[in-house]
Amino acid sequence: MKRTIVAMVFWCLIQNAMGQEKVFPGADEQTPSKAQYFSWINNTNEGATEEHTLINLDFFQWLQDEYGMILDIYAFDAGAIDGKRFYGSVYSERFKKQFPNGFDPMYKKAKAMGTRLGVWGGPDGFGESEEEKQARINQMVSLCKDYEFALFKFDAVCGPLRPEKEDAFIEMMKECRIYSPDLILLNHRLGLKKGKPYATTFLWGGQETYIDVFTSNTTTAPHHRAGALERGLVPGLKRLTEDHGVCISSCLDYWEDDLILQAFNRSMILAPEIYGNPWLLKDEEFAKLARIYNLHRKYGKILVNGMVLPEEKYGKSAVSRGDDASRLLTLRNLTWEPITYKIKLDHEIGLNAKGEIEVRQFHPTEKILGSYQAGSEVEVEVAPFRSCLILATSNHCDEPGVIGTDYEVVRNVPGKSTLIKLLGMSGTNSKIQLVNAANYNTATLNGKSVSSLLKGKSLKLKFEGEALKQEAHRKLADLAEIEIPQDAKALYEATCYAADNNALEVRSLERSGTSNIPQVQKARDAFFNQSVFVDRGVWDKNLFDGDRKTGFWPSRKYNIDQKVEGGCFRLDLGEITDVDQLMIRVPDDFSLQPLLRDEGNYAEVSTDLKSWKTLTYYAGEEMRIDINGSVRYIRLWDQPGRIVEIEAWKDGQMLDRSKWRASNLFAHTNRKKAQKAWSAKFNLNEIPEGSYLSIAIDGKHGVEGAYAAAKIDGELVGCPDRSVSFPSNTWEFVNAKRDSNYTYYLPLNENMKGKEIEVFVLGFDKENLDFKPEVWISAYPSPYEEQILELTK
């Protein structure tokens, strides 16, 4: 705060000298970044609530208590006060329903953890009369005066600023900054004129970062976030802008590479900045989230100074930030093969120091690369489609570290033991030394004392398992054109049944698995159990929950039909099951449409996706399909608009539904005629943990024009994931659509080792068949063996 006031005074002196109005927009280019979370995608335009927000704040309090992560700003997004196309009031019934105790409970909880609040809104709301204008000004000023708000995010979605109200806007901002002189005003597409100097930032490129909704891949890649990693730089590395942060809600793999670039490469006034549902990460990933925030805070003061590195040597959009003695470099690799960069430890990266330069890597793993003479070159390999963070410093680095192996600092918090995860490939040996050993009194490895490390001695490590004979990431084959297989329809169905049309957040939850952290689980429950999420019918489990008030249906957000070529309702019982009758329930005639009551309709059933039997049933609120035999897969030629419950019966007993899954957006196979096919066969003699195939389709194939699947020892296996994402009944807005460069992902496991794997790609769009499929194997996370080093002071 002291630095901010000094900067504001300096700014005012300059403005006086120039004879202009005194304006300090809350920050300048040298203001250190502020770490932020904002609630968009956790709630949509309906807005947050007191109960939900307090649960979210508990999550961030846990991150602080456990890992030392400090959040500077927690911002309410749309719907807290203002909303889409309306201006609200803290005195309205709507606001009181959401926040019965006003902002007081959130303010107190946030303040206790060193966090300030922010809010989304619009730039106007001044009404038509002097009284309405003053009420709006008083309301916004009170947020700063009474609650120390640190951020206003003003968005044209709420409504534009009328030209005749710019003076009122300026008056409001002046008064707000009397109480919050460092108030950041985010200008989201406002078109300000006289009021422009009062805005702190503008939205860079107008781009939001919700993966596979607003940001998606433009090339093939082994994950969904290559498009996010492609983002470049603001001209001049201008920091008084906003890149909308990193969305942690959908397509979570490699989120950390995305956040590294947001925090250390662009490093704008809000950084690290995240939004959405970070509680959807895996329990073991929260330490990395906190580590990124903590490192940014540690070096925040010098991160304000940046320089773009020569592209021909360091790759596109590489940046070095820091001062004469210490530089933090961000590199990236957007190709399928590793790239080695040579870092020159001199003025080329902004270093102006003599003597020894210590070089460390902070991401994707941490490792001490060594000490080198100033002016030397250091080789750094950047893995495919990943980012990399390097520290080069002539100062002593007091961070925990280990020489001799890769590692991750899990926890480094005053008053708690320091935890370091030591990493090595299976079947390998390392000899390690502890840096800054004098800082610690005890050291244990996997619970056993290793006091020799505290005396500067080396320690041998052995990482269990069989050594890999091949790289975990490598190209396996180019697919060759073949005759269209006789079972092409079954291959297509295999992927339709392996995938789903659930909300992207549901896919993230299934990706991350259960949590053993109470604060995480409560935040997840608060999100998924909120009525607006349940009522949108975006999760197939609602069909099997015994509640006829919930359901699953094709969404039409913004009147955009998400169904592919009319869609098709599919049901998978999880295993071959003896069934007498299947019952499908809808609440009323409207929900039955386009089906009409008592008309005959067709269902198809199968046990193997190859042979299908057609059955007739009658439309109504309760539709009984008589199966009287074994079945696993069911699909409907035409589907009701809103299904709320599905049951199956055998000998008068309702069957267990815990393994059931449903989808409703993929096209019926009769509407997908294969025009061309490709395949490749191979065997894998080793499959590291976390391995998966990337079936990359380079070229234009048309929207939903190419599908991939496989046979493993002759058994059909579909791809459960794809970039861009399979169509989904999205929680907010609609899925991105692409007509080129799909990548299908197929998880691998130990049971597939040594078996013949045949990968297929089918082209359906006869106008777009000139593409080249290939298949790669990768692993995420990297398949390291782990050992835990615990240090106490």
Provide the CATH number for the domain around residue 615: 2.60.120.260
Structural domain boundaries enclosing 240:
34-298
Give the residue from 104, 106, 97, 96 showing the smallest Cα distance to 37: 106
Residue 626 phi/psi, 5° resolution? -80, 115
Write out the H or E segment, with its range, that includes residue 319. strand 319-322
- HSE of 382 in the Cβ direction (CA atoms, 13 Å)? 23
Q: Are residues 96 and 187 in the same domain?
A: yes
Query: What residues does 467 pair with on adjacent strands?
Result: none
Task: Look at residue 203 in the predicted model and tell me its pLDDT.
Answer: 83
Our CA dihedral for 720, 721, 724, 727, rounded to 10 degrees, sits at 40
* Statement: residue 602 has pLDDT above 90: yes
Query: Measured in Å, how far apart are the chain's first and last C-alpha atoms?
Result: 32
156-198 pLDDT, tens digit per residue, is 888 889 999 999 999 999 999 999 999 999 998 888 899 999 9
Provide the CATH number for the domain around residue 730: 2.60.120
- Rounded distance, CA 443 to CA 457, Å? 12
381-402 pLDDT, tens digit per residue, is 999 999 999 999 999 999 999 9
**129 in a structural domain:** yes
Sign of CA dihedral 416, 322, 247, 254: negative
* Statement: residue 18 has pLDDT above 60: no
Q: Are residues 79 and 142 in the same domain?
A: yes
DSSP string, 542-601: GGGSS-TT--B----GGG----STT--EEEEEEEEEEEEEEEEE-SSHHHHTTS-TT-EE
Burial of residue 634, with CB atoms counted within 10 A of its CB: 0-12 exposed, 13-18 middle, 19 or more buried: buried
Q: Are residues 283 and 145 in the same domain?
A: yes
Q: Are residues 85 and 200 in the same domain?
A: yes
* Statement: residue 144 has pLDDT above 60: yes
Q: Are residues 644 and 718 in the same domain?
A: no
Q: Are residues 596 and 706 in the same domain?
A: no
Q: Which residues contact 639 (CB under 8 A, 6 or more apart)?
A: 554, 567, 568, 569, 595, 664
Q: Which of 298, 332, 362 is the last residue of a domain?
A: 298
Mean local confidence (pLDDT), 130-146: 97
Q: What total number of domains does the chain contain?
A: 4
* Statement: residue 556 has pLDDT above 60: yes
Residue 433 phi/psi, 5° resolution? -135, 150
**584 in a structural domain:** yes
Instruction: Locate 408 and state its tokens.
Output: 């991750």
59-75 pLDDT, tens digit per residue, is 999 999 999 999 999 99
**452 in a structural domain:** yes
Task: Look at residue 400 in the predicted model and tell me its pLDDT.
Answer: 97
Task: Look at residue 20 in the predicted model and tell me its pLDDT.
Answer: 52
- Rounded distance, CA 690 to CA 745, Å? 12
Residue 19: pLDDT band with limits 50, 70, 90: very low
Provide the CATH number for the domain around residue 363: 2.60.40.1180
* Statement: residue 4 has pLDDT above 80: no
Q: Are residues 65 and 124 in the same domain?
A: yes
* Statement: residue 5 has pLDDT above 50: no
**13 in a structural domain:** no
Write out the H or E segment, with its range, that includes residue 291. helix 286-298
Residue 551: pLDDT band with limits 50, 70, 90: very high
Q: Which of 635, 663, 691 is the last residue of a domain?
A: 663
Considering the chain, what is the average pLDDT of its residues?
Answer: 95
Our CA dihedral for 51, 52, 56, 58, rounded to 10 degrees, sits at 20
Q: Are residues 353 and 377 in the same domain?
A: yes
Tokens 């709301």 found at? 125
Q: Which of 240, 271, 298 is the last residue of a domain?
A: 298
Q: Outline where 89-218 has alpha helix (H).
A: 93-98, 104-112, 130-147, 166-179
User: What is the CB neighbour count within 10 angstroms for residue 467?
Assistant: 11
**10 in a structural domain:** no
339-384 pLDDT, tens digit per residue, is 999 999 999 999 999 999 999 999 999 999 999 999 999 999 999 9
DSSP string, 676-689: EEEEEEEE-S---T
Q: Are residues 262 and 332 in the same domain?
A: no
Q: Are residues 285 and 358 in the same domain?
A: no
Mean local confidence (pLDDT), 489-508: 98
How far is C-alpha 718 from the chain's CA centre? 24
Q: Are residues 197 and 293 in the same domain?
A: yes
Q: Are residues 172 and 288 in the same domain?
A: yes
Of the given ranges (18-32, 138-152, 571-585, 616-630), which has the lowest mean pLDDT? 18-32
242-279 pLDDT, tens digit per residue, is 999 999 999 999 999 999 999 999 999 999 999 999 99
What percent of the chain lies above the pLDDT cut of 70?
97
- Rounded distance, CA 240 to CA 237, Å? 9
**398 in a structural domain:** yes
